[in-house]
Structure 1
Amino acid sequence: MFQESRWKNFLSYVGPGFLVSTAYIDPGSMENDLQAGASYTFEQLWVILIGFIFALIIQMLAANLGISTGKHLSELCKAEYPKFVKYCLWLLAEFAVICADIPEVIGTAFALNILLHIPVWTGVLITGLNTLLLLGLQRYGVRKLELVISIMILVIAACFFGEMGYVKPPAGAVIKGLFVPKLSGQGAVGNAIALLGTLIVPHNLFLHSALVLCRKVPGSVRGVNDACRYYLIESGFALVVAFLINIAFVSVSGTVCSANNISDETTNQCNNLTLGSAPFLLKNVLGGSSSTIYAIALLASGQSSTITGTYAGQFIMQGFLDLKMKKWIRNLMTRCIAIAPSLIVSIIGGSKGAAQLIIISSIVLSFELPFAVIPLLKFSGSTSKMGPHKNSIYIMVISWILGVAFTGFNVYYLITAFVGWLIHNKLPKIANVFVGIIVFPLMLVYVLAILYLTFRKDTAVTFIEPIMLDHPVVQNNMEHGLSNSCEVVEADRIPYREDLADIQLPE
């Protein structure tokens, strides 16, 4: 009976981790995974492994932050930072949502191109309309819609797992790629950063810290600890599934494109691999229907990621500005902003240009990550924010090491890539001087902003002491998760947040 009760309690917390995990198998992740496999075979699998380890840690920290404080990340940023810093963080977070939406726009456009044989730029325009259709369907229950989309995403996962069984990637090379760091070949560093940018997206941290507030959590030390543990298990399972799907993408692409007996046609396809040309990877399993099934799954991937972006945008706006929009207005606004660069690039550069834009947006997301991760790490280890629930020194040391490593990796690439471009471009010297005068100060501002967030001392105290009930027996019952009398049953629970963008999730 006790085990049944704990299992029932765990199921009541299931949901946020799976919703968040859809961002890890969106069109941007697919694009970067497939290109990493085609260009570097299995050499960049270690980037995905480290990325998912870091993702699990910081998603756990985000969930714990929301549970322990009763506030989500953007609300705590608003309470902690001066007005100018607060608005800068808000703009960066909104820009991150837009950058994350670009791969969804282009991925949907590629899917429509495969299904309906329309130009990519036309598909980009249609994405604004299909977003309204998606939001219209949510009135029938977002949980049912998410279930359908998850099943469709699992279709493509099953396809790639089936293809893995057919092409049989070398186990030794895959294991070596997972555990032996290596970056060789032109553009390897940029592709690795793009991989990290699609694996760890800033808006997911704001999203996860808010979604957990839509559950009723007992207001005791044990209740909070149980909730943190349940969310860790749920998020861990969801992220492991997403990790395996990403491994399948890279393994299939790497195996097919590195085979000794591939045809010239396949070689050309691998050299120009985009989301639009990827169905050839599945022909061994699906035959002539590979394009249709791939396109349907790609469409589902893009639309499921749209849901997470919409909710994240609502939480960010509500937390920083105390402002909420209707979901359809919020989604349409974000989508229209994302459509503009996607449309311009797809018209000028075609499919290849649109695919490159996904890589660029992923790199931008990677550079924006410190402005969400650093506040999260600081708040998670702060007594003034978390009280007795602040994270252990071991978790904080590991998360800070990974956070500093990722940030240093980004700064190194930013400086070396720009200096390399200055040296090798064909612009007149005077033009290079002016570009340097503009860009180098911006780099300095970027580094100084990161240092400011890292070393600034927190001042706001937001932790609220839990209710201490007068009767010792009642207090003991609350701490051990036992029922109290009807007079205090409402006092032993932290009020859940009904104000968060009208999320339709179970209590």
Structure 2
Amino acid sequence: MSVDVTERRPRAAPARILLLLGPAFVAAIAYVDPGNVAANLTAGARYGYLLVWVLVAANAIAVFVQYRSAKLGIVTGRSLPELLGERLGTGARRAYWVQAELVAAATDIAEVIGGAIALNLLFGLPLPLGGLIVGVVAIGILAVQTRRGQRPFEAVILGLLAVIAVGFLAGLFVSPIDWGQAAGGLVPRFDGAPTVLLAASMLGATVMPHAIYLHSALARDRHGATPDEQHDAGRIRTLLRATRLDVVLALVLAGAVNIAMLLVAAASLRGVAGTDTIAGAHAAISSALGPAVGIVFAVGLLASGLASTSVGSYAGATIMGGLLKLRVPLLARRVVTLIPAVVILALGVDPTWALVLSQVFLSLGIPFAMIPLLRLTGSRAVMGDAVDPVWTRILGAVVAGLVVVLNLVLVVLTVTGG
């Protein structure tokens, strides 16, 4: 039974729309996680304002893709992994789950490492111990979702997002930003193979595969409906209107935080030795902008790690449940996925470089989430009258094609050492 979302009904009151906001802000945590910090600081410290355009483009892609994911969950009442699980054969479904699970594992590693770095900067804790603490606190945050439901979980995540925004925007107001050069950074260009690698890392950190999988589930769970309500055109139209606002507000905030990180690094850290690591950048920020700004930066990084590792575990459970029909408790999943991150920290691997490489890996996973999503939202059999119009499908194909090309270039450069 198709849903006619073009039927005219009275518009929902603004207050009603505001009450429907929330899921996109949870998904937006993926766009301001520690991997973003590492990629953006590295880009700004090494190449100044050169790659500002990458963040702007990536954020525009994120708005386009995340709205489609939420729309899919609202219209169909199913998550992207569930719909894929229904359409794939057993072998293909398991293979698809493996790549999606690897993406989720890379996300977990980045988030725990980022939180551990923050605890080291704030309190001097050893990185492995910091990783364990981040994992334990994340378990507490996940317990809120398990016991209290989605709305209290959203409230906790929104609070952490506010801390993240303050932590990373604070430096913007005391840094000597060259706004002319920053505007020049909006012109798309590269400066050799290393900048392509960084651009892929920034793309992977901004358009994150697990957020694409997750948002459909967040929208479905938040706006759950009875079978009759699922075919209520007026209700769906109201939810889609609220979702557009939700996605734009959440991702404009996330985009502003990301761009602020790069601008601060370009203005205050360019040419300073050691600033292509988070610890070095923190030291330089504290020296150049004052210890108070350095502390606020570290607190923002800690909030980023705590929030994103909780959301990442939620995404992993969504992927497994949809593709394999297995329900592993969120808390148990968090304990298992904590191990690789702590091992990496204990082995003494450079944490900032581990974060950057994790984001490159995430970039490789984007097409596997994006292309099926766009195929589903462009299918009238799946979406009914809420199907994406032709121009949206064409734009989606162009966006997906650009992402695939960038990833192929990245693979070639990585293999050849270019």
Q: C-alpha separation between the residues in 2 aligned to 1:368 and 1:240?
A: 23
Q: Give the partner amino acid of 2:279.
A: G
Which one of the candidate residues 245, 251, 254 is aligned to 2:257? 245
**Cα drift, residue 230 of structure 1:** 1.4
Any conservation in 1 of the 2:37–2:261 contact (CA below 8 Å)?
A: yes
Deviations 1:14-56 (A, max 9, x none): 0101111111111110111111001111111111111111111
Q: C-alpha separation between the residues in 1 aligned to 2:289 and 2:195?
A: 31
Is 1:51 the equivalent of 2:65? no
Q: Give the partner amino acid of 2:166.
A: V
**1:124-143 equivalence runs, <5 A:** 124-136=131-143, 141-143=152-154
**Cα drift, residue 285 of structure 1:** 8.3
Which one of the candidate residues 288, 295, 298 is aligned to 1:295? 298
Q: C-alpha separation between the residues in 2 aligned to 1:9 and 1:64?
A: 18
For 2:129, what is the secondary structure of its paired residue? helix
- Residue 446 of structure 1 corresponds to none
Q: Give the partner amino acid of 1:333.
A: V
Which one of the candidate residues 174, 189, 192 is aligned to 2:182? 174
**1:262-273 equivalence runs, <5 A:** 267-270=272-275, 273=276
Is 1:161 the equivalent of 2:164? no
- Residue 150 of structure 1 corresponds to 161
**Cα drift, residue 86 of structure 1:** 0.8
Q: Give the partner amino acid of 1:255.
A: A
Q: Which runs of 4+ in 1 moved over 4 A?
A: 2-5, 136-140
Q: Give the partner amino acid of 2:273.
A: N
**1:426-441 equivalence runs, <5 A:** none
- Residue 467 of structure 1 corresponds to none
Q: C-alpha separation between the residues in 1 aligned to 2:97 and 2:282?
A: 38
Deviations 1:120-169 (A, max 9, x none): 23323443333334445665742442243123212213412323xx41x2
- Residue 461 of structure 1 corresponds to none
Structure of larger gyration radius? 1
Q: Give the partner amino acid of 1:304.
A: A
- Residue 406 of structure 2 corresponds to 409
**Cα drift, residue 389 of structure 1:** 1.1
Any conservation in 1 of the 2:193–2:413 contact (CA below 8 Å)?
A: no
**1:46-125 equivalence runs, <5 A:** 46-125=53-132
Please list every run of 5 or more consecutive structure 2 residues that lacks an aligned counterpart in the other structure. Answer: 1-8
Any conservation in 2 of the 1:98–1:335 contact (CA below 8 Å)?
A: no
Task: Give the length in aligned residue pairs.
Answer: 401
* Greater mean deviation of Cα atoms: 108-117 or 31-40: 108-117
Q: C-alpha separation between the residues in 2 aligned to 1:369 and 1:342?
A: 26
For 2:185, what is the secondary structure of its paired residue? helix
Q: C-alpha separation between the residues in 2 aligned to 1:282 and 1:3?
A: 52
* Greater mean deviation of Cα atoms: 132-141 or 19-28: 132-141
For 2:327, what is the secondary structure of its paired residue? coil
Any conservation in 2 of the 1:342–1:357 contact (CA below 8 Å)?
A: no
**Cα drift, residue 407 of structure 1:** 0.4
Any conservation in 2 of the 1:105–1:342 contact (CA below 8 Å)?
A: no
Q: Give the partner amino acid of 1:230.
A: A
- Residue 305 of structure 1 corresponds to 308
**Cα drift, residue 3 of structure 1:** 9.6
Which one of the candidate residues 212, 221, 229 is aligned to 2:241? 229
Deviations 1:374-409 (A, max 9, x none): 110111111221122110111111111011111011
Q: Give the partner amino acid of 1:172.
A: G
- Residue 333 of structure 2 corresponds to 330
Q: C-alpha separation between the residues in 2 aligned to 1:288 and 1:335?
A: 31
**Cα drift, residue 340 of structure 1:** 2.8
Q: C-alpha separation between the residues in 1 aligned to 2:366 and 2:240?
A: 23
Q: C-alpha separation between the residues in 1 aligned to 2:289 and 2:333?
A: 38
Q: Give the partner amino acid of 1:336.
A: I
* Greater mean deviation of Cα atoms: 150-159 or 378-387: 150-159
Q: C-alpha separation between the residues in 1 aligned to 2:416 and 2:122?
A: 43
Deviations 1:388-436 (A, max 9, x none): 2110111111111011111011112212331346xxxxxxxxxxxxxxx
Q: C-alpha separation between the residues in 1 aligned to 2:385 and 2:283?
A: 54
- Residue 11 of structure 1 corresponds to 18
Q: Give the partner amino acid of 1:120.
A: L
Please list every run of 5 or more consecutive structure 1 residues that lacks an aligned counterpart in the other structure. Answer: 259-265, 422-507
Q: C-alpha separation between the residues in 1 aligned to 2:414 and 2:340?
A: 28
Change (3 A) 1:360 1:67: same
Task: Indicate the RMSD between aligned Cα atoms, in angstroms.
Answer: 2.2
Any conservation in 2 of the 1:111–1:298 contact (CA below 8 Å)?
A: yes
Q: Give the partner amino acid of 1:181.
A: P
Q: Give the partner amino acid of 1:176.
A: G
Q: C-alpha separation between the residues in 2 aligned to 1:127 and 1:409?
A: 33
Q: Give the partner amino acid of 1:403.
A: A
User: Which of the pair has the greater relative contact order for Cα pairs under 8 Å at 6+ separation?
Assistant: 2
Any conservation in 1 of the 2:268–2:288 contact (CA below 8 Å)?
A: no
Q: Give the partner amino acid of 2:401.
A: V
* Greater mean deviation of Cα atoms: 21-30 or 134-143: 134-143
Q: C-alpha separation between the residues in 2 aligned to 1:268 and 1:285?
A: 13
